[in-house]
Amino acid sequence: MIQLVWLIPLLPLIGSVINGLFGKRMGKTAVGLVACVAMVASFLISLSIFIKILSLPVAERSVEVTVFNWITSGAFKLDVTFLIDPLSTIMILIVTGVGSLIHIYSIGYMHHDKSFWRFFCYLNLFVFFMLMLVLGANYLVMFLGWEGVGLCSYLLIGFWYEKKSASDAGKKAFVVNRVGDFGFILGLFLLFWSLAGHGITSLSYKEVFANIHHLDPSMLTIITLLLFVGATGKSAQIPLYVWLPDAMEGPTPVSALIHAATMVTAGVYMIARNNLLFSLAPYTGEVVAVVGILTAFFAATMGLVQNDIKKVLAYSTVSQLGYMFTAVGVGAYTAGVFHLMTHAFFKGLMFLGSGSVIHAMGGEQDMRKMGGLHGHMKTTSWTFIIGAIAIAGMPPFSGFWSKDEILWETFEKGHHYIWALGLLTAFLTAFYMFRQVFMTFTGRCRADHHTQHHLHESPKIMTVPLIILAVLAATGGIIGIPFFEEGTAAHHFLNSVFSSGQHVVNHAVAGGGHVANAAGESEAIHGGLELIMMGVSVAVGLFGIFLAALLYYEPMKKFAPSFWTPENLAARFKGLHTLLYNKYYVDEIYDALIINPIKRLCWYCWRFDLGVIDGIVNGAGWVTRLVAWLMHKFDVYIVDGTINSSATFVSWTSSFWRRLQSGYLQNYALVFVIGLLLIIGGALLGW
């Protein structure tokens, strides 16, 4: 079964090719069917591989499947090889599973779009690249996927390219990602270069990890920092997160699949995959954790005041990604991947739910014009609320287990400030999520009459995926519940992947004398503390929901103190509100600090270009053209022409004016003979 892994990315690729080539003529049903069948089949294969992996003993759970050998030249070998291990299995399950649901949902959502086939072509192509990214057993395949998902993301954000904001957002995403990718590729080059110094030319994870100890820590720190720069670009972390909120210009299923569930988690996956490298570079780990928690916090504050239903979700995505980075930064890789999974469920769900809302509202995205939708669309509303509870971290929904695990691990590993900020973020998350729920689904409908009249629940093809995702969001935390002695099911499953990195960390901790307080204490106190922590985070979450309810839930409003209304608060903290509403002016700051100077620099460069570079380029071009011209003239003049001119000479002397026009053929023959002379002459002189 595992040998069939190549089918998993191949099927979406085939789907994409079919839709791309024939989609225009095939009709919408057929297009959707092709795309979804490819995805579901891919998911089923992934599932069977997962089952197979579970049945194997722990030591044998990492399997490399070489699909084909791309180029072999001497010692240098490039294979397209897939790596099946617990980490990649979880990732393919998420990608194909959530991907299938979103594909099915898209059939309904995109039904009126004229470029239906193009959408599914891109979407399938995206899934293909994403699967390459997570399945690749060497850095090259991963990089191929990494670049490919970036391309598809760009294509899909700008899907409605007639809209200027959409194509601008696409461009922004592309440019920002390019900055990150630059760091990433630099890191990869540095890694290969420094490993090549030790005689290792392979690009496969296995070889690299086996030989990583040759590198000295400072080099590793630089490499991992550069890789992390790539991750901040792809996964929208400070300072490169600015593209993600804008990316909401794309169709909502795209936001759900790419900008919530899968692609943006690529950075987390990459760090988890390279856990050994990051564990060996503790400084980078600190940086990752701090950047992660700061992103989580600031994104959450920005989410507090957004009015666009998708923007709120976008900031919450950035914020949740921050949690994941915090987790992998402190070395809690399992917790990070676990949160990645639960996040894929509940954030995918919420995006699709918001899509359903937008669908019903006829394209309206402003929450101030919504309200009271619960009555009109029961399924969407209930599933959305489940998602909100999950993200707010209420037990027993999935978000609780994963978020709590991250917070607990940060606390346990001694990062108390990070933990505190994380807790605060959890509070904010609960607040703004329920603000959204209350504003959208409860109260009086603020939409205009026309829209109200057309409010309707979405078709089955959209609601069924919602329900499935809601079930997953509610129950997906099971594998994070500590049933086992040695940890949760997730730990148990993923342990083999992260053990080497974990080992390094523990070793360093023990050796460095930096004894974590949790390590020495007894299990009982340990367990007790964990329970207390759980209680604290639940309480904080509940408090956030409560405050949100006081502000935005009609029946609760009367219990609120007089100053506790949105308007009053906005007026009282006017400065703060404006700051948050304008997202800390980060875009403006970037504009002022980076983009405008670059533009100005470009302008200068352009001027410079005109003067100097163009001169050089033109000069070089001119030289090339001159040489081309000369060579061309070689044909015309030296070949025919010299002969012509010598013929002219002869003609002049012998006054055969009429015969100036020498036929070409004789000249050709003459050149032939001269060439022959040169060969033989060269041979005589001894080549």
Partner 1 sequence: MTNLLNINYYAVAPELVLIGFAFLVLILDLLLKGRDKAVLGYVTAFGLLVSIPVSYFTNEPVSFSGMVAADSFSAFFNIVFCVAAFLTTLISMDYMKKAKADRGEYYYITLFAVIGMMLMASANDFVNLYAGLELMALSFYVLVAFKINDNKSVEGALKYFVLGALSSGILLYGISFLYGYAGSTNFAEIARAASAGSSQNMFLILGVCLTVAGFAFKVALFPFHLWSPDAYEGAPTPVTALLSVGSKAAAFAVFLRFFAGSLAVLQPHWAMLIWVFSAATMLYGSVVGVSQKNIVRMLAYSSIAHAGIILIGLLVTNDKGSSGVLYYLLVYAFMNIGAFSVITLFVRNNGKGANICDYKGLASKRPWLAFFMALFMVSLAGIPPTGGFTAKFFILASAVNSRYYLLAGIAVVSTVISLFFYAKVIFYMYMKEADDASVFTASPGAALYNVVIVISAVATVLIGIFPSVFMDMAVQAVKPLLM
Partner 2 sequence: MMEQVFFYIFSIIAVISAISVISARSAVRSAFYLIITLMQVAAIFILLRSPFLAAVQVFIYVGAVMVLFLFAVMVLDIGREKLVAYMHHQSVIAVPAVIVFFIMGAYMIIRGGWNVSNAGFPEAALAKSSEVIGKEMFGRYLFPFEVVSLVLLIALIGAVALVLRGREKDKQC
Residue span binding partner 2 (CB under 8 A) among the ranges 233-241, 424-432, 609-617, 673-681: 673-681
Contact between 309 and 357 under an 8 Å Cβ cutoff? The reply is yes
Give the burial string for 230-247 (b: 16+ CB within 10 Å, else e): bbbbbbbbbbbbbbbbbb
Closer of 4 and 678 to partner 2 (Cβ): 678
Helix (H, G, I), strand (E, B) or coil at 228: helix
Could you say which of 24, 670, 686, 687 contacts partner 2 (CB under 8 A)?
Answer: 670
Residue written as token pair 């780990």: 285
* Site membership for partner 2, residue 680 (CB under 8 A): yes
- Reference 301, options 249, 257, 238; nearest CA is 238
Q: Which two tokens stand for residue 139?
A: 């850095």
Closer of 563 and 687 to partner 1 (Cβ): 687
- CA gap 127, 488 in Å, rounded: 29
Closer of 598 and 628 to partner 1 (Cβ): 628
* Site membership for partner 1, residue 682 (CB under 8 A): yes
* Site membership for partner 2, residue 682 (CB under 8 A): no
CA 555 centroid distance within chain: 41
- CA gap 291, 294 in Å, rounded: 5
Give the burial string for 345-359 (b: 16+ CB within 10 Å, else e): bbbbbbbbbbbbbbb
Residue 576 C-beta: closest distance to partner 1, Å: 50
Residue span binding partner 1 (CB under 8 A) among the ranges 151-159, 204-212, 441-449, 621-629: 621-629
- CA gap 434, 543 in Å, rounded: 11
* Site membership for partner 2, residue 666 (CB under 8 A): yes
Helix (H, G, I), strand (E, B) or coil at 348: helix
Count of residues of this chain found to bind partner 2 when the rule CB under 8 A is applied: 22
Choose from partner 1, partner 2, none: what does 624 bind? Cβ within 5-8 Å by kind. partner 1
Could you say which of 594, 620, 626, 676 contacts partner 2 (CB under 8 A)?
Answer: 676
Determine what percent of the chain falls in helix, strand and coil, rounding each to the nearest 5: 80, 5, 15
Could you say which of 396, 632, 652, 656 contacts partner 1 (CB under 8 A)?
Answer: 632
* Site membership for partner 1, residue 51 (CB under 8 A): no
Closer of 461 and 670 to partner 2 (Cβ): 670
- CA gap 100, 40 in Å, rounded: 6
* Site membership for partner 2, residue 612 (CB under 8 A): no
Residue span binding partner 1 (CB under 8 A) among the ranges 336-344, 369-377, 404-412, 670-678: 670-678
Residue 12 preceded by cis peptide, ω within 30: no
- CA gap 219, 303 in Å, rounded: 38
Residues numbered 624 to 663 that lie near partner 2 (CB under 8 A) are 642-643, 646-647, 649-651, 654, 656, 659, 662-663
Count of residues of this chain found to bind partner 1 when the rule CB under 8 A is applied: 34
Give the burial string for 299-318 (b: 16+ CB within 10 Å, else e): bbbbbbbbebbbbbbbbbbb
Contact footprint for partner 2 (CB under 8 A): 642-643, 646-647, 649-651, 654, 656, 659, 662-663, 666-667, 670, 673-674, 676-677, 680-681, 684
Summarize as ranges the residues that interact with partner 1 (CB under 8 A): 68-74, 624-625, 627-629, 631-632, 634-635, 639, 664-665, 667-669, 671-672, 674-676, 678-680, 682-684, 687
